[in-house]
A and B are shown apart, each in its own frame.
Chain A
Amino acid sequence: MAPDVLAAAWLIARKDLAIEFRTRSAFLSALVFALLAIVIFYFTWDPSAIPALDLAPGVLWVIFTFSGLLGLHRSFGVEQEERAIDGLLASPVSREAIFLGKALANLVFVLGVQAVAIPAVALFYNVPFGRAAPALAGIAVLAAIGLVSVGTLFSSMLVNTRLAELLLPMLALPFFVPVVMPAAQATARILAGRPGTEVIGWLKLLAAFDIVFALACTLAFPHTIDD
C-alpha cells in the first residue's frame, strides 16, 4: 500500500535534502549570495545617517527573500533532469504529498540560510540579537513557511519554461510582500525592544498569510502539475 500523505511527503523531502547535501550547489549559492549582500549593504551604509537597528531588519528580509529564491528555483529543477518528475507523478503518492515534500525540503533550505545569515547580520551591524534570538527565530520560521509555500508552487509552474529564472522572482515577489512586510515590521519592533503588544498584531497577520498560502498552494498544486 502506498504511503499516506505525510509519510510520502517526508520521503520526498528526505530525497531532496539528500540530493542537496550531496551537491550543495543551491545551498552554497544562496549562502554566498546572502553573505555578499550583507557585506555590500554594510559598505553602502552610513551609520551616522541611519541607525543599525533601523537598517538591519530590512537588510535581513531582503537577503532572505532573494537567497530563498535561489533554492526555490532548484526545487523542481532537479526533477526535470531525466524527467524524474514523471516517476513521482506515475507513483501512487498524492500530488499534495509531492507539494508538501518539496515545500518541507525548501523550508529546511531557507531555514539553513537564515541560520547563517542572522548571526552574520548581527555581527556586521553590531545588533544585540541575544535576548531577541528566540523571537526572531519564531518570526523566521513563520515567514519561511509563507515564502516556501508560494515559491514551491511557482517553481513547479515555471519549471518547464525557458525563462524560469527570470519569471520566478517576477511572479513570486508580489506574493512574498504580505509575508515579508509583517516579518520585517515584527523584526524591527523586537530589535528595538518594543513591547510585545506591538509585535503580536504583525505576528497574527504573518500567521494568517501562512495558513492562507499553505492551504491555497497545496490545493492549487495538483492543477499546476497535472496536464
Chain B
Amino acid sequence: MRPDERTAPVITATGLVRAFGARRAVDGVDLALQAGDCLAVFGPNGAGKTTLLRVLAGLLRPTAGTAAIGGVALPGGAAARAQVGIISHHTMLYGALTGRENVAFAARLHGVRDPDAAAAAALARLQVADRADTPVRSLSRGLQQRVSIARAVVHTPRVVLLDEPYTGLDDTGARALTGMLQSLAAGGATLVLVTHQLAEGLALATHLAVMRDGRFVRQESRAGVDAAAYLVRYRELVTNGA
C-alpha cells in the first residue's frame, strides 16, 4: 500500500441523514476513517447504529448529506459494494447449503479468482473448516456466525462493517474473530464495529464513538483513553444523557 493510500480517507460521511418518515434514524453523522482504522460505535438500542451501517453498506440510501467508500459516493453501485463486507446479527446464510457452499457463493458473487480455495481459507481462519461441509441450519448459532463472518471477508474487502459480530460466539469464536479483525486492520482494511460489548470494542478500536438518537454524541481517538473511565462516562451518557 502506498503512503497516500494509507492517509486518504476510505470512509467519509458529511452530515449524513437517514430518515424513516419523520423519524431520523441517522441524524447528521460526520465521519472520516483511513485505511487500517477501526471505529467502534457504541450506543443504546435504537440509537441508529445499524441504520448507519446499512447506509455505509449501500443497502439504504442517505436521505441527506453525503457518504463515500473508497472515494465512491454512496449508494454508489457495484464499485462501492465490491469494497465492502458486512456482518450483521442476521447470518445472511442459506440454511440448506453447507458453510463451504455459502462462502464460495459469496466469493463467486464478488468475482474472487479461486472461490473454492478462498472459501476454504476463510473458513479455516475462523476455525470452522471441520464443519464446512455441514448444512448451515445444522450448525449451532455460534458456528453459523463464524461461517457468516467468513462469508463477509472472503473477498478481502477494503471496508468491513460489523453489527454485533460477537453475538452468539463462544470464547474460541470470539478470539478467532478478534484475531481476524486485527489482521484485516493490519492489512489496511477499515473497520466499523457496532457493539454493546465495550471491552471488545475498546480492544480493537482506533477511534471511538457513542451514538444516541441518530447522532454521534461523543467521538474521539482511542489513543490515551482509559477503558475503565470510558465505561463510566459511557454509562452516564446513555443513561443520563449527560
| Min CB–CB distance B78 → chain A (angstroms) | 4
A84 near B109: Cβ-Cβ < 8 Å: no
Give every chain B residue within 8 A of A81 (Cβ-Cβ). Answer: 94-95
Instruction: Known A87-B151, A90-B86; judge A19-B94 contact (CB<8 A).
Output: yes
**Residue B24 CB within 8 A of the other chain:** no
| Min CB–CB distance A100 → chain B (angstroms) | 14
Residue of A nearest to B91 (CB): A82
| Min CB–CB distance A149 → chain B (angstroms) | 23
A90 near B97: Cβ-Cβ < 8 Å: no
**Residue A92 CB within 8 A of the other chain:** yes
A91 to B103, CA, bound (A): 13
Instruction: Known A2-B109, A3-B108, A87-B106; judge A15-B94 contact (CB<8 A).
Output: yes
Residue of A1, A78, A92 touching B81 (CB-CB under 8 A): A92
| Min CB–CB distance A93 → chain B (angstroms) | 5
Interface of B is mostly: loop
A87 near B92: Cβ-Cβ < 8 Å: yes
B111 near A92: Cβ-Cβ < 8 Å: yes
**Residue A89 CB within 8 A of the other chain:** yes
Residue of A nearest to B80 (CB): A92
Residue of B nearest to A98 (CB): B109
| Min CB–CB distance B54 → chain A (angstroms) | 8
Residue among B79, B95, B101 with most chain A CB within 10 A: B95
B109 near A88: Cβ-Cβ < 8 Å: yes
B94 near A91: Cβ-Cβ < 8 Å: no
B 108-124 binary contact with A (CB < 8 Å = 1; else 0): 11110000000000000
B108 near A11: Cβ-Cβ < 8 Å: yes
B109 near A19: Cβ-Cβ < 8 Å: no
A83 near B78: Cβ-Cβ < 8 Å: no
Interface of A is mostly: helix
Chain B interface category by residue count: 20 to 34
A 95-118 binary contact with B (CB < 8 Å = 1; else 0): 000000000000000000000000
**Residue A211 CB within 8 A of the other chain:** no
Give every chain B residue within 8 A of A92 (Cβ-Cβ). Answer: 78-79, 81-82, 109-111
**Residue B84 CB within 8 A of the other chain:** yes
| Min CB–CB distance A78 → chain B (angstroms) | 7
A90 near B81: Cβ-Cβ < 8 Å: yes
Give every chain A residue within 8 A of B57 (Cβ-Cβ). Answer: 86, 90
Give every chain A residue within 8 A of B92 (Cβ-Cβ). Answer: 82-84, 86-87
Give every chain A residue within 8 A of B97 (Cβ-Cβ). Answer: 15, 18-19, 22
The B55-101 residues at the A interface (CB cut-off 8 A) are: 57-61, 75, 78-79, 81-82, 84, 86, 88, 90-97, 101
Instruction: Known A92-B111, A227-B61; judge A2-B82 contact (CB<8 A).
Output: yes
B106 near A19: Cβ-Cβ < 8 Å: no
Give every chain A residue within 8 A of B75 (Cβ-Cβ). Answer: 226
Give every chain A residue within 8 A of B96 (Cβ-Cβ). Answer: 18-19, 22-23, 78
| Min CB–CB distance A25 → chain B (angstroms) | 9
A91 to B86, CA, bound (A): 10
B84 near A90: Cβ-Cβ < 8 Å: yes
Residue among B59, B96, B97 with most chain A CB within 10 A: B96
Instruction: Known A3-B111, A11-B108; judge A91-B81 contact (CB<8 A).
Output: yes
Give every chain A residue within 8 A of B78 (Cβ-Cβ). Answer: 2, 92-94
A84 to B101, CA, bound (A): 14
A94 to B78, CA, bound (A): 7
**Residue A180 CB within 8 A of the other chain:** no
A11 to B95, CA, bound (A): 17
The B147-184 residues at the A interface (CB cut-off 8 A) are: 151
**Residue A34 CB within 8 A of the other chain:** no
| Min CB–CB distance A99 → chain B (angstroms) | 15
Residue of A22, A82, A89, A227 touching B93 (CB-CB under 8 A): A82
List 7 A-B residue pairs with CB atoms under 8 Å apart, sorted by A's residue number.
A22-B97, A23-B96, A81-B95, A87-B151, A88-B109, A92-B111, A227-B61
Top 3 closest A-B pairs, CB basis? A87-B92, A83-B90, A92-B78
Beyond A15-B94, A22-B96, A227-B61, 11 extra complex contacts between A and B, CB < 8 Å: A2-B82, A15-B105, A22-B97, A22-B135, A23-B96, A82-B90, A87-B92, A90-B57, A91-B106, A92-B110, A94-B78
